[in-house]
Amino acid sequence: MKKPTVVTCPQCGKEVVWNSDSPFRPFCGERCKMIDLGQWASEGYRIPLDESGADQEPPPPSQA
């Protein structure tokens, strides 16, 4: 018999069995899922900008 895959909840660190019986995977439950969603909504998580400036928008076209 295959051993079930176990992951760690990214919010609280609790172990979660990864299967269809775990509807909030990879989170342990709805609470951790909603905390994570709130972090994204309030911009608590951000993807860092490339310091070289490659991710910046180009300047607007000049009107001559």
* pLDDT of the residue at 56: 62
* pLDDT of the residue at 1: 80
Read off the pLDDT of residues 1-46 as tens digits, 9 standing for 90 and up: 888 899 999 999 999 999 999 999 999 999 999 999 999 899 888 8
Q: Which domains does the chain have, with CATH numbers?
A: 6-41 (3.30.50.10)
Instruction: Supply the DSSP string of 2-62, one letter for each residue.
Output: PPPPEEE-TTT--EEE-STT-TTTTSSSHHHHHHHHHHHHTT-S-PPPPTTSTTSPPPPPP
Token duo for residue 43: 């911009």
Position 53 pLDDT exceeds 60: no
**Mean pLDDT in residue range 47-62:** 70
The model carries a pTM of 0.64
* pLDDT of the residue at 8: 97
